[in-house]
Amino acid sequence: MSKKDKYDPETIRRTLARMPEDYEPNIEKFSYKDFAIRTIVIWIGNIIGFLIVAPFNLGLYVNSIEMAIIVVTLVGIVNALLWPILTRVFMPFFVYTFGAASLIFNALFFYILAFFIKGFEINGPALFLVPFLMAAINTVLAGIVTIDDNSSYYRGITRDALNSRRKESLKEYSGLIILEIDGLAYDILMEAIDKGYMPTLKEWLDKGSHKVKRWETDLSSQTGASQAGILHGNNRDIVAYRWVEKDNGNRIMSCGSFNNTSIMEERISNGNGLLTDDGGSRCNLFSGDTDNVIFTLSKALNIQKMFNSAWFSVFENPNSFARICVLFLYEIILEAYSQIKHTIKNIRPRIRRGFIYNLTRAGTNVFLREVNTHTIIWDMMNGKLDTIYATYLGYDEIAHHSGIRDEDSFRCLKTLDKQFKRIKEASKYSRRDYEFVIQSDHGQSNGATFKQRYGISFDKYVRSLLPEDMSFYSLINSDDELRDVFIPLNRQITYMRNLYSNSLEYIEKYSPRQYKIQKPENSEVIVLGSGNLALIYLTQWPHRLSYEEIISYFPNLIPGLVKNKYIGFILVNSKNNGAMVIGEDGINYIEKGVVQGEDPLKNFGKNASYHLKRTNSFKHTPDILVNSFYDPETDEVCAFEELVGSHGGLGGSQTRPFIMYPSYWNLDGEIVGAESIYKILKREINNLKLRE
């Protein structure tokens, strides 16, 4: 029996991870033949890049092919000698300029060289086009001849990472790498695996190293609420992606704002976040109470925390960032092609995707993806961090605009699977053992938008249900004055009670009138969208209006909303009955457990009442919370924003994310809420330390 057959490779790797401090990883045997082929091909590619740019009069002049060969050779030598020094001295500059500085230094090499070589001149656009085109050609050639061997890549990162921790002892317990795929539902994950888009994850499941389980999000089903729960164990009062704080000057809080996420983290954190003990946060909204962060929104305003030694992996050679730029440009081209394809094939539902979105897609699906993978591998080689939580944002962004099952979305999952394989393969070069978890924070549900179905946007529809002249209400400074002077509440409620015997009769029989739509800037109502969840705030009043107050002041509003066939239900709070979930044909008094008529929550899951009761207790819950319809046969909702795939409310796969975890973990029973995921991960992180 051969040694390879006799010993389990996993056991060998675990043993190696516990070797003494002077242990050096057993990197794959260096191949001089492969190195020579790689060097020659890259050298030829660089020469080709030179010769392509030269005829276009963009600032590059070489008087012969021989001169191009000389310049390329000298640049390669200079880069090999000076680049390692430059990255260590100027790394903060590279980071703070989001990589632009590396392109500047590349251009500077060429510019300085031109002073010493006759027959070679470079200036203007060519200073940046030449290194960029050289990187593009290298990327293509490396893929064609398969010379981009992992051993060379891991060798460089391992050397740098080991050098950074020479004096520190090796941790003997395993670390945990948690990789989040933003917005991927359990159903779509399994479909992607079955269709062959994610062979790495399929292999993990087939071999039995991992299991996968569906869990259920809170309301709202979006990254802000989910990551607050997962990373801090607390997502209370995060009503939606954005909400209004009436008691704070009607300030609109957003989970996509630097300032706002910093404030949110201060509110939700108790200092015991998921990453508080030697953790690292990569591309997340919240930090999990660690200072080791890269592209973490809640810490983004702290410039000092932007720099992290893991950035060395992104700029470890002069072509690495240029390669990312090439892939960035290629993603822009892919999106342009996708838009043309969707138009020609008349793929529906379809939304307008402008050029800004091309940049956004490339940023999330290339730049942040590559930074994530590079820095995670560097951290694994370094071995200091116990837990790393990283979010891959590309699928969520693409599914929003192309659809959750579109070819673009599945292609994105295929590239993510390659990243996970790359990270897993890197573990055999690491000095420390690592466990891996792949999970999502929420799913998405597909469907044409409210505007596409109804003909006008939701905010305009809401305005059409309100009085044309809202200045009447703007004159009122308090609820008491309104009652006493203009619309005495007791008389209004008495009138409504005399007219209708109960609330359901009012909803069924009241015929709303449609008022003229006002311009948004003149409206005294704030309407916000969060996927297929909408929030209506009547901002003249500093408190949340009750159901009784709303029907008194705005009798059109509630009947007009629930009688729209694209709205599934609304949530309001009654002084007499507590939380009320109202649909066109029925009311669910969720605090009393009483349903009058047809239950508006019948298609939204068995835990819908629980989620809505919890949201109703939040500090900044809107006067009216609106959820779109959900069709269980087509699995469709309609977003109030212009998005094909959406999430934020209830209905469909948006509330059904997944967690893929080591098979020896005990995850019995139903998992409801992001805070439950926090408890599971926190428990397993502690268990890993106990098994050292």
Tens digit of pLDDT for each residue in 365-381? Answer: 999 999 999 999 989 98
Number of domains in the chain: 3
Q: Are residues 472 and 354 in the same domain?
A: no
Predicted pLDDT of residue 160: 59
In a domain, 153, yes or no: no
For residues 272 and 331, state if they share a domain: yes
Strand partners, 581: 571, 588
Q: What is the CATH number of the domain that holds 675?
A: 3.40.720.10
* DSSP string covering 562-630: HTSTTEEEEEEEETTTEEEEE-SSEEEETTTTEEEES-TTTTS-TTHHHHHHHHHTSTT--SEEEEE-E
Predicted pLDDT of residue 686: 95
User: Do 295 and 306 meet the contact criterion of CB atoms below 8 Å apart?
Assistant: no
Predicted confidence (pLDDT) per residue in 226-245, tens digit? 999 999 999 999 999 999 89
Strand partners, 528: 535
**Do 492 and 581 reside in the same domain of the chain?**
yes
Lowest mean pLDDT, pick from 42-51, 67-76, 176-185: 42-51
In a domain, 525, yes or no: yes
Q: Choose the weakest-confidence range: 35-39, 254-258, 360-364, 461-465.
A: 35-39
Name the residue range of residue 113's domain: 32-144
Using only C-alpha atoms, what is the Rg of the chain? 29
- DSSP secondary-structure letter at 538? E
Crossing angle for the helix pair 320-344 and 355-362, nearest 10 degrees?
Answer: 130
Judged against a pLDDT cut of 80, whether residue 39 lies above it is answered with no
Is residue 163 in a domain?
no
Question: CA 477, 482, 485: angle at the middle one, nearest 5?
Answer: 115
Statement: residue 362 has pLDDT above 90: yes
Percent of residues, the chain, with pLDDT higher than 70: 82
**Average pLDDT value for the chain:** 84
**pLDDT band at residue 150 under the 50/70/90 scheme:** low
**Closest Cα to residue 215, out of 553, 544, 567, 673?**
673
Residue 23 lies in a domain: no
Maximum alpha-carbon separation in the chain:
98
Of residues 94 and 552, more confidence is placed in: 552
Is residue 39 one of the residues assigned to a domain? yes
Residue 672 and residue 235 in contact, taking contact as beta carbons nearer than 8 Å: no
Q: Using DSSP, state whether 54 is helix, strand or coil.
A: helix
* Distance, CA of 356 to CA of 208 (rounded, Å): 43
CA-to-CA separations, 592 to 300, 466, 500, 611, 619, in angstroms, rounded: 44, 30, 22, 15, 21
Say whether both 442 and 459 belong to one domain: no
Residue 305, C-beta contacts closer than 8 angstroms, at least 6 positions apart: 291, 293, 299
Residue 271 within a domain: yes
One domain, residues 622 and 496: yes
User: What pLDDT is recorded for position 155?
Assistant: 55
- Residue among 543, 532, 496 at smallest CA distance from 655: 532
Angle, CA 386 vertex, CA 380 and CA 388 arms, to 5°: 65
Q: Are residues 681 and 557 in the same domain?
A: no
Q: What are phi and psi of 675, to 5 degrees?
A: -65, -25
Q: How confident is the model at residue 514 (pLDDT cuts 50, 70, 90)?
A: low
Model confidence at 106, pLDDT cuts 50, 70, 90, reads confident
Mean pLDDT of 295-318: 79
Cβ-based neighbours of 354, under 8 Å, separated by 6 or more: none
For residue 13, being part of any structural domain is answered with no
Query: What gap in Å lies between CA 19 and CA 25, rounded to an integer?
Result: 10
